[in-house]
């Protein structure tokens, strides 16, 4: 009798765990946004801890680039490429926003070390990456996907880079904007 009761409790616990695991996976599956859609709005802290909203950049062309991790080789190469082309972005009125799961403190150190002239946003809860379908967490990863979204002055996504090559990404962005 005790063995039967214990077996039923174990089966019930396994069923409950499977139910919660399935629902968690369903909720964290990345969303898909497409070119032509309004860019999802958000507010998260920058490298200084100041809350920044996408809405504050409405009326400006915006690059929203997701990257996996501060101070890793590919991410540093991509960020430095954007830094080196920053005068061209500024000349054309383009705002650059980098997003990863790193803390504001990590972003501050990365920005200072690499002399990055653009804003780095801290998506520690993975909410913004999830909104944009750049959240790989559901697939077992702890980093945002390397994806870039170009947003026009009206707040519409006009181009999405799903497969980013860090070494020449700045030039690809300028070309996609028509420069």
Q: What per-residue confidence (pLDDT) applies to 3?
A: 75
Residue 138 confidence (pLDDT) above 50: no
Average pLDDT over every residue of 87-105: 97
Q: What number of helices (H) and strands (E) belong to the chain?
A: 6, 7
Residues sharing a CB contact under 8 Å with residue 52, sequence separation 6 or more, in sequence order = 43, 44, 45, 46, 97, 119, 121
Catalytic residue among 13, 18, 75, 80: 75
Q: pLDDT per residue over 42-75, tens digit each?
A: 999 999 999 999 999 999 999 999 999 999 999 9
Residue 118 confidence (pLDDT) above 90: yes
Distance (Å, whole) CA 81 – CA 116: 10
Q: What per-residue confidence (pLDDT) applies to 27?
A: 45
Unique residue bearing structure tokens 């697939």: 139
Give yes or no for a contact between 121 and 44, defined as CB atoms under 8 angstroms apart. Answer: yes
Residue 134 confidence (pLDDT) above 60: yes
Q: Where are the beta strands (DSSP E) in the chain?
A: 43-45, 51-53, 61-66, 94-100, 119-122, 147-151, 157-161
Residue 115 confidence (pLDDT) above 60: yes
Q: What per-residue confidence (pLDDT) applies to 163?
A: 84
Q: What per-residue confidence (pLDDT) applies to 169?
A: 95
Percent with pLDDT over 70 in the chain: 82
Q: What per-residue confidence (pLDDT) applies to 139?
A: 47
Residues sharing a CB contact under 8 Å with residue 73, sequence separation 6 or more, in sequence order = none
* Higher pLDDT among residues 141 and 152, named by residue: 152
Kindly state the tokens that stand for 42.
């958000």
Average pLDDT over every residue of 151-176: 95
List the beta bridge partners of residue 149.
64, 160
Element (H, E) at 111: helix 104-114
Q: What per-residue confidence (pLDDT) applies to 106?
A: 97
3-state secondary structure of 173: helix
Residue of 125, 146, 149, 172 lying closest to 54 (CA atoms):
149
> Is-catalytic flag, 75?
yes
Residue of 52, 53, 59, 49 lying closest to 40 (CA atoms):
53
Residue of 87, 70, 92, 91 lying closest to 79 (CA atoms):
70
């Amino acid at each position: 009798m005790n063995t039967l009761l214990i077996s039923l409790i174990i089966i019930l616990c396994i069923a409950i765990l499977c139910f919660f695991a399935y629902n968690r996976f369903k909720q964290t599956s990345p969303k898909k946004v497409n070119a032509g859609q309004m860019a999802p709005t958000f507010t998260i802290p920058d490298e200084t801890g100041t809350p920044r909203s996408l809405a504050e950049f409405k009326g400006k062309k915006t690059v929203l680039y997701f990257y996996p991790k501060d101070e890793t080789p590919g991410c540093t190469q991509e960020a430095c490429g954007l830094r080196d082309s920053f005068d061209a972005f500024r000349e054309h009125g383009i705002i650059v926003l980098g997003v990863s799961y790193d803390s504001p403190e990590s972003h501050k150190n990365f920005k200072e070390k690499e002399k990055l002239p653009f804003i780095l946003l801290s998506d520690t809860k993975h909410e913004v990456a999830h909104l944009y379908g750049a959240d790989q967490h559901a697939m077992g990863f702890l980093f945002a996907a390397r994806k870039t979204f170009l947003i026009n002055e009206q707040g519409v996504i006009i181009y999405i880079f799903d497969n980013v090559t860090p070494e020449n990404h700045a030039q690809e962005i300028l070309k996609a904007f028509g420069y």
